[in-house]
């Protein structure tokens, strides 16, 4: 079971609910060690005193705020003492319509859980109220010596907490981007054709249909270099569409999207959010493969040892094993054979 990253009281009005906070996502980033070229020697980062050049142990490091001509030193316990209550409380100060919060404000997602079965009723009450009203609770919380603006939202059958950017942290695109078009007129015919293309390519949102193909290619590259093989180069980026060819490109795109449907399929299907047939079929095949693999008896470690790490990773992807991207070859074998259990994702 995952370890809570924060615990405290979530309050709204005069109601207080003891809760725990759990990380909702994990990163599948492939991590490389730094080596000196031509050797297998690791290159490590050290905390070094820039004046003496000597390494400084962690217990001797304090925080210093640069005032220009001097540093003001702040001890860790002094940061905790200035707002002891804030680090253990999350007070919802108001509820807003979910549609009013622009996506650019959202940062990281956590799951909220009641800190004990005796608080299940209050937890369920807040969850149901937020879901029915389609609102999010806006609050602040202090974690790791930093105050966060957060939104508490009902998602599925759990309460989720999204950390948010403060208003002054969100950059003005018109100030940051010099080439941003202003008041650009578009032809009505081009607009209607673009809308047709959007509708023709409309699908149902199914996150299971998407996976990190770049990560898989990196692992294939590593395995190829290990075994002395070569890897095909990827396709170059598409050529930029010229403005004079825009209408032709739009019409060709619409025709291509329509041709992917089966004969007789309703023209209006995408408008109702139904995915094109080829995408639906691919999803069904993938789910069938995953279900079949889940029902099959786990392979023996002796069989798995004959596979390369790339092949082991692909099987781990099909089996939906969490934390697979940071597993070693032996850990992948244990997880696939059922002896390793579910491995917790590493905290970066």
Boundaries of domain holding 256:
188-212+238-289
Residue 112 lies in a domain: yes
How far is CA 194 from each of CA 125, 203, 251, 260, 268, rounded to the nearest angstrom? 44, 16, 8, 18, 16
Q: Do 123 and 92 share a structural domain?
A: yes
Task: Identify which of 89, 160, 87, 148 has the alpha carbon closest to the alpha carbon of residue 123.
Answer: 160
Counting every residue, how long is the chain? 348
How do residues 194-243 score in pLDDT, each as one tens digit?
A: 898 888 888 888 888 878 887 888 888 888 888 888 777 777 777 766 65
- pLDDT band for 344, please (50, 70, 90 cuts): very low
Query: How do 89-97 and 6-12 pair as beta strands?
Result: parallel
In a domain, 48, yes or no: no
Using CA atoms, how far residue 268 sits from 100, 202, 265, 271, in Å, is 30, 11, 9, 5
Radius of gyration in angstroms for the set of CA atoms belonging to the chain, rounded to a whole number: 26
Last residue of a domain, one of 136, 169, 202: 169
The strand pairing partners of 19, in sequence order, are 8, 114
Task: Mark which of 247, 263, 289 sits at the end of a domain.
Answer: 289
Residue 270 falls inside a structural domain: yes
Is there a single domain that holds both residue 159 and residue 242?
Answer: no
Residue 310 covered by a domain: no
98 shares its domain with 203: no
202 in Cβ contact with 148 (< 8 Å): no
How many domains would you assign to the chain?
2
Average pLDDT, the chain: 80
Look at residue 163 in the predicted model and tell me its pLDDT.
95
Dihedral angle, C-alpha 56, 60, 61, 67, nearest 10 °: -110
Predicted confidence at residue 135, as pLDDT, reads: 94
Pairwise CA distance, residues 171 & 194, whole Å = 29
Which one, of 299, 310, 306, lies nearest residue 334 by Cα? Answer: 299
- 97 and 243, same domain (yes or no): no
Which of 134, 123, 159 minimizes the C-alpha distance to 15? 123
Of 142, 139, 167, the C-alpha closest to 153 is: 139
Residue 335 lies inside a defined structural domain of this protein: no
Q: Are residues 199 and 142 in the same domain?
A: no
Q: How far apart (Å, rounded) are the C-alpha atoms in residues 197 and 252?
A: 10
My answer on whether 20 and 104 are in the same domain is yes
Are 193 and 128 in the same domain? no
Q: Cα–Cα distances in Å, from 63 out to 45, 48, 82, 203?
A: 19, 15, 15, 50
CA–CA distances in Å: residue 60 to residues 49, 50, 55, 67, 145: 11, 15, 11, 21, 19
- Would residue 73 count as lying in a domain? no
Task: Kindly tell me if the per-residue pLDDT of 33 is higher than 60.
Answer: yes
**pLDDT of res. 311:** 72
What is the per-residue pLDDT for 136?
95
Residues 157 and 203 in one domain: no
Judge whether residue 262 has pLDDT over 80. Answer: no
Q: State pLDDT tens for residues 70-112.
A: 999 988 778 777 765 556 889 999 999 988 999 999 999 999 9
What is the per-residue pLDDT for 326?
66
- The Cα–Cα gap between 317 and 161 comes to 28
- Statement to judge: residues 109 and 203 lie in one domain: no
**Region of 157 on the Ramachandran plot (φ > 0 left; ψ -120 to 50 alpha; else beta):** alpha
The residue ranges of DSSP E strands in the chain, in sequence order, are 6-12, 15-23, 63-66, 71-74, 89-97, 106-114, 135-143, 146-155, 158-164
Whether residues 156 and 206 share a domain: the answer is no
pLDDT at 272 over 50: no
Among 52, 153, 154, residue whose Cα is nearest residue 105 = 153
Percent of the chain at pLDDT above 90?
A: 31
Is a pLDDT exceeding 90 seen at residue 150?
A: yes
Q: Are 16 and 159 within one domain?
A: yes
Q: Using a cut of 0.85, tell me whether the model's pTM lies above it.
A: no
Q: What does the pLDDT look like over 172-187, one tens digit per residue?
A: 988 888 888 777 788 8
Cβ neighbour number for residue 325 with a 10 Å cutoff = 22
Which candidate, 313, 337, 341, places its Cα nearest to that of 28? 313
Residues 204 and 91 in one domain: no
Asked whether residue 309 is domain-assigned, the answer is no
Flag the least confident range among 185-194, 199-208, 273-282: 273-282
Contacts of 202 (CB under 8 A, 6+ apart): 270, 271, 273, 274, 275
The enclosing domain of 140 has a CATH number of 2.40.290.10
Burial 81-105 (b: 16+ CB within 10 A, else e): eeeeeebebbbbeebeeeeebeeeb
Assess if residue 315 is contained within a domain: no
The pLDDT value recorded for residue 38 is: 92
């Amino acid at each position: 079971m995952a370890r809570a990253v924060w615990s405290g009281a979530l309050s709204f009005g005069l109601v207080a609910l003891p809760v725990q906070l759990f990380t909702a996502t994990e990163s599948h980033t492939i991590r490389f060690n730094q080596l000196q070229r031509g050797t297998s020697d690791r290159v490590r980062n050290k905390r070094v005193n820039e004046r003496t050049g000597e390494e400084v142990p962690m217990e001797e490091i304090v925080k210093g705020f640069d005032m220009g001509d001097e540093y003001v030193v702040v001890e860790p316990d002094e940061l905790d003492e200035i707002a002891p209550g804030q680090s253990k409380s999350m007070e919802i100060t108001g509820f807003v319509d979910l549609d009013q919060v622009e996506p650019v404000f959202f940062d990281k997602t956590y799951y909220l859980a009641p800190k004990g079965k005796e608080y299940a009723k209050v937890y369920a009450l807040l969850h149901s109220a937020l879901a029915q009203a389609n609102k999010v609770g806006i609050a602040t919380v202090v974690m790791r010596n930093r105050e966060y603006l957060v939104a508490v939202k009902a998602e599925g059958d759990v309460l989720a907490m999204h950390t948010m950017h403060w208003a002054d942290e969100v950059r003005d695109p018109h100030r940051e981007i010099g080439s941003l078009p202003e008041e650009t007129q578009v032809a009505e015919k081009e607009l209607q054709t673009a809308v047709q293309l959007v509708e023709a390519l409309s699908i149902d949102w199914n996150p299971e249909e998407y996976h990190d193909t770049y990560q898989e290619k990196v692992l294939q590259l590593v395995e190829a270099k290990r075994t002395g093989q070569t890897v095909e180069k990827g396709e170059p980026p598409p050529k930029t569409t010229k403005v004079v060819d825009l209408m032709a490109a739009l019409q060709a795109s619409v025709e291509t999207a329509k041709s992917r449907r089966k004969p007789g399929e309703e023209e209006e299907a995408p408008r109702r959010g139904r995915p094109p047939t080829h995408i639906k079929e691919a999803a069904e095949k993938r789910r069938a493969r995953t279900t079949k693999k889940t029902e099959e008896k786990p392979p023996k470690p002796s069989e798995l040892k004959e596979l390369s790490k790339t092949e082991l990773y692909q099987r781990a992807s099909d089996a939906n094993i969490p934390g697979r991207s940071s597993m070693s070859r032996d850990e992948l074998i244990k997880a696939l054979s059922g002896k390793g259990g579910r491995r917790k994702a590493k905290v970066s």
